Structure 1
Amino acid sequence: MPFFQQLEDMSSFLDDVHTLDKLKNVLDPTILEQAFEHVGIATVRRRRLPLDAVMWSVIGMSLFRNETVWDIASRLDISLPGKNKLVAPSALVQARQRLGYEAVQHTFQLLAQKTFTTQAFEQWCGLNLLAVDGVSFRTQDNEENRNEFGSDRNQHGEGSYPQIRMCSLMEVSSHLLLDSCFDARRVGEMSLAQGLLPSVPDDSLTLFARGYFSLGLLHEWRKRGTNIHWMLPAKKDLQYQVERNISDNDKIVTLFTTPQARKKFTELPEQITARLITYKIDGKSYRVLSSLTDLMRYPYDELTEVYTQRWEIELGFREMKQGLHQSKYALRSKKPDMVSQELWGMLLAYNLIRIVMIDAIKEDEELTPIQLSFSLSLRHIIAFLITTPLQSASKLPMHYEELLHTLRMFILPNRLPDRKYPRVVRKKPQKYPYKRKMPVSS
């Protein structure tokens, strides 16, 4: 190969490096390399759309929800330079298929693990507060998605849109997702929650919804690592035996497991010790069951307030569906594998936004990430990705600091603790219109 041709190829490669510089400031390229090597798709072939560029196009599908994948590649300027700056739509489709969904999944998990271990989050009694809950997403209505994911059916046999059921583990003080598991709608949230076990960190308290009551799952959660605890509302028909009365509203109880549960969870003992507390809010009584049996370390007065943090994961789901997903009816991909890739890309995009918001509050100790507006932060981060000039890579840190300074101004107003939405019984729909009352003639 002629020397000048080698210089030209090297110059093109360096131009490509600068093209992705602003994206590398948000997502560490070494994480992408580890993910590609883990799933075995790393290649030395020089393509017009390299794997890291394809990864950003998948992330961009959530950041630019109303635009086509072809337009997203143009906005992010992620293709290699050449005669034709834009790539063909068919090339983007083939590139997504070459990337697959496992690389996006592993990138999400590596980024979440690295962020959680390197950042300092708010703690309660020395424990990181986590929450577990489930959510569903609709896919495009076609035969492949219906066979893969399934759908609801009514009494006439007519089905709705195919749905994916997802269960997530979230750090509540920042809304950072630590892990997610999703599958067909026929798979229950209890089964999906077991897939989150490898991502449960030590020194943590996980807040579950009432429907996750399973002594087998809770026991495995407790024994997963060091100082791992759980908490969830107690069922009305909870069967237990009082081991010790601490007070009228605080008890150490023994829960008895069933033979069926011990058959499913082989390490499940016949008895489990737990703590049952009762408290009142606005005259209504609540009961919460937990593994926090150390009375000195976890006093009753603090236990009555911590469970309210579980609702933070609901707000996180709202940010994903209404913020990133823009309340769209269904995911845009049509093939099951591409649906999984798009969903992992949305979770990755959500965490990237949250990580930038975490960076923004580091210089202000009085602020927390959830005090910043997610929607406004999302808009300005997208603007940073598409408008920041790249003439001088040395100025990128300065532009990024300006972005963080801007995000710190988007402080949400304090939540109203006394806001009430009284329950209203909806009027039952009638087959015939309501008859108007005739005026009485005098």
Structure 2
Amino acid sequence: MARSKVGLGSGARFADYLSTGLLARAFPAAIINEELDAHHCNSERVRTFPASAVVYYTMALSLYSEAAYEAVFAAVAQGLAWKDHQPVAPVTVVNSAISKARSRLTWKALQAIGRRCLLPLARPEHAHAFFAGYRLVAMDGSNVEVPDEEANVQAFGYPGSRTGQAGYPQAQCAILTECASHAILDAELGPYQQAEWEVAAPLLRRLTPDMLCMDDRGFVGYAHWQAGLQTGAQLLWRMPKSLILPVEQLLDDGSYLSQFYPSARARRKRINGIAIRVIEYVLPQVPKSEPMYRLVTTLLDAQEAPAQDLAQLYHERWEVELVFDELKTHLGQRRRVLRSKTPELVRQEFYGWVMAHYAVRWLMYQGAAQADIPERTVSFTATVQLLRRTLPQSGAIPPCAPKTMVPAAV
């Protein structure tokens, strides 16, 4: 029995600030075209579906994850179809034309667009955004299912299971997130069998000296720590209890200074050590807590960053777990998240998914700032639903956009 194609449904009136171009404000057309040119995949002639529109379409795929490709294209086309500031009827295209348009892109162009546009949103006055003047960011990883196509299997692989092979191939992803805003600042995608820290390693290049980066045990290694240190950022990472960290100086707050060595041999010879501070604590009042938690940090001064403050601060890292819930449950609508049938298009869709999430978070933060309300009181789910209802009627993806992000009025 043939599967019915799913449409978008009817929508309500769009808020005024969205009609000025949400996606193009967060991802300006000028930047998109510059990166498309740099990656040699921009449209060389006038097309019904130019390359810049394909980028916005790739973002919209995540907003309408249950809709047919043609229906998503119609939503994008209506946003693009403006002439003399008046809406005109968009053309209709078939699925094969959409696939051909997507094949002219490259995922590296979308990644580059993201790296220029995925900017921190939090300001110093925002709660839980900074510590000792450093912007709080966190890294984490997860897995996403992709369609069971031979090319995807070869590129990403199957996860194992107790009964053998799992149902769908999976890719492994890692994200760098601003804790306060949940804005994704960078993302990487790799094969399922690749080590988690290898997938995440390129994210360290996005750290800046004004950041404090928190990380979990799965990412910690000497080379990884050294790479983070070289960015000038401060680090607060959880460390396995099995790693030998000799006490060199006990501090008044119970933490101690130590050296992080690349190997047991280097530790014996005391060469290539990196100065770190170790914080070990227990959570006796928390059910099912571990016997001991160990954090290591580049913040060596216990007066500037007391151990108790850092232990409490580390739990802000769990905000990145909520980001994956937003991506998979609320934006992905609890379905198999990525639906493209080739590795190239899977990667394109992944970065479109990340950028769509950022657009929602950008809108939430701008709206909260204009309304003078706490940003964490704005509903992610309600904002996504608003976008889904109204994007087709909004002109939210205009053919021209400001070169810089301008706060939207609520």
Match of 1:416 in 2: none
Any idea what SS the aligned residue of 1:99 has?
coil
Inter-CA distance 404–84: structure 2 relative to 1 (3 Å threshold):
closer
Partner residue of 1:190? 197
* Deviation digits for residues 152-194 of structure 1 (CA, Å, limit 9, x no counterpart): 2457754531110111111101011111111111211111222
Deviation readout 1:68-92 (Å, 9 max, x if unpaired)? 1111111231566899721222211
Contact 2:340-2:346 within 8 A present in 1 as well: yes
| TM superposition shift of 1:55 | 1.4
Contact 1:79–1:85 (8 Å) recurs in 2: no
Partner of 1:270: 272
**Matching residue of 1:239:** 244
The residue number in structure 2 matching 1:92 is 98
Task: Confirm or deny that 1:213 pairs with 2:220.
Answer: yes
CA contact (8 A) 1:232 1:290 kept: yes
Query: Equivalent residue for 1:255?
Result: 260
Q: 1:344 to 1:248 in 2, by over 3 A?
A: closer
1:336 to 343, 365, 375: 343
Q: Distance between the aligned counterparts of 1:42 and 1:224, measured in 2?
A: 33
Please, which moves more after superposition, 328-337 or 21-30?
21-30
Deviation at 1:366, TM superposition (A): 5.3
Highest RCO, 1 vs 2 (Cα 8 Å, sep ≥ 6): 2
The match for 1:56 is 56
Q: Distance in 1 between matches of 2:185 and 2:145?
A: 23
Q: Secondary structure, in 3 states, of the residue corresponding to 1:242?
A: coil
2:240 & 2:259 partners in 1: Cα distance? 15
The amino acid across from 1:288 in the alignment is L
Say which of 296, 303, 319 aligns to 1:296. Answer: 303
Aligned equivalents of 1:174, 1:310: Cα separation in 2:
12
Q: Distance in 2 between matches of 1:127 and 1:20?
A: 33
Once the 2 structures are TM-superposed, how far is the Cα of residue 260 of structure 1 from its aligned partner?
A: 8.7
> Matched residue of 1:295: which SS?
coil
1:291 Cα deviation from its structure 2 partner: 1.6
Q: Does 1:75 align with 2:82?
A: no
Query: 2:67 is matched by which residue type in structure 1?
Result: E
**Cα distance between partner residues in 1 of 2:171 and 2:345:** 13
The residue number in structure 1 matching 2:65 is 65
Query: What SS class does the counterpart of residue 173 from structure 1 fall into?
Result: coil
- The one-character-per-residue Cα deviations of 1:192-231 (angstroms, maximum 9, x if unpaired) are 2221122112221111112222122112211223xx1212
Please identify, of 246-255 and 179-188, the stretch whose mean Cα deviation from structure 2 is larger.
246-255
**Counterpart residue identity of residue 75, structure 1:** A
**Structure 1: segments with no counterpart, 5+ residues:** 1-18, 263-267, 394-399, 406-442
Question: Who is 1:348 aligned against?
Answer: 355
Among 319, 336, 347, the alignment partner of 1:312 is 319
Q: Could you report, residue by residue, the CA deviation over 1:294-325 in whole angstroms, capped at 9, with x for unpaired residues?
A: 22321233222110001000000000000111
Partner-residue secondary structure (3-state), 2:71: helix
Identity, in percent, stands at 24
In structure 2, C-alpha distance between the alignment counterparts of 1:278 and 1:37, rounded to whole Å? 51
Question: Match of 2:13?
Answer: none
C-alpha distance in 1, partners of 2:352/2:395? 25
Q: Is the 8 A contact 1:79 1:86 kept in 2?
A: no
Tell me, what secondary structure is at the counterpart of 1:195?
Answer: helix
Q: Which whole-Å CA distance do the structure 2 matches of 1:272 and 1:25 have between them?
A: 43
Separation of aligned partners in 1, 2:39 and 2:123:
27
TM superposition score normalised by structure 2:
0.81
Superposition deviation, residue 350 in structure 1: 0.6
Mark the CA change 1:210 to 1:335 in structure 2 (over 3 Å): closer, same or farther.
same
Distance in 2 separating the partners of 1:281 and 1:154: 33
* 3-state DSSP of counterpart to 2:104: helix
Cross-structure match for 2:144: 137
Q: Secondary structure at the match of 1:361?
A: helix
User: How far apart are residue 255 of structure 1 and its match?
Assistant: 2.9
Q: Which amino acid aligns with 1:34?
A: E
Instruction: Give the paired residue count.
Output: 369
Deviation at 1:287, TM superposition (A): 2.8
Q: Deviations over 1:411-432 (max 9, x none)?
A: xxxxxxxxxxxxxxxxxxxxxx
Residues 75 and 392 of structure 2 are in contact (CA less than 8 Å); yes or no, is this contact kept in structure 1? yes
Whole-angstrom distance in 2 between the partners of 1:328 and 1:269: 51
Distance 1:118 1:305 in 2: 20
Inter-partner Cα distance in structure 2 for 1:272 and 1:91: 55
**C-alpha contact 1:251 1:276 (8 A) present in aligned 2:** yes
The amino acid across from 1:151 in the alignment is Y
Cα drift, residue 259 of structure 1: 6.9
* Amino acid of the structure 2 residue aligned with 1:235: P
CA deviation profile, 1:352-399 (whole Å, cap 9, x unmatched): 11111111122355513x332111111113334223379x99xxxxxx
For structure 2, list consecutive stretches of 5 or more residues without a partner in the other structure.
1-18, 83-87, 286-290, 400-405
CA 1:187–1:144: 2 relative to 1, 3 Å: same
